[in-house]
Amino acid sequence: MADINVFTITGRCTSDAKFAVLSGGKSVLNVDVAVNTGYGEYKKVTYVQIQQWGDKGRSIVEYLKKGQLIGCSGELTTDKWNGQDGKEHTSLKLTTFAIQLLGSKKEDSTPAMPDGLTF
């Protein structure tokens, strides 16, 4: 039996999403998300880089603003690199096949879109 790598998270965007068309013609959406767990002295935040390939990102990029609550499902990987400080760094990346809008900040000025839409 093959291994299964499917993760689902909910969290808030820590910055506005970025959409780019690469030189080979492929398009990609990138946004960082903070996932909060626990409370009080046990509160913990995990940061995950969200990446969605293809043109679906073009239709959602304008709604993924800092503070937007989203749900994502996809394949989780870790990226490792050596920084300029000589230390090894690690980050989590979720290559998504679905992003769902779940809510936004109260003072949000993002264009109106019904919550619950999936891209």
Residue 61 near residue 70 (C-beta atoms within 8 A)? no
Give tens-digit pLDDT for 50-91: 999 998 888 899 999 999 999 999 999 999 989 899 899 999
Give tens-digit pLDDT for 2-35: 899 999 999 999 999 999 999 988 999 999 999 9
Instruction: For residue 107, name the pLDDT band (cuts at 50, 70, 90).
Output: low
More confident residue, 83 or 47: 47
What pTM was computed for the model? 0.80
Query: How many CB atoms lie under 10 A from the CB of residue 21?
Result: 11
Q: Which of 36, 54, 33, 58 is nearest to 45 (CA)?
A: 36
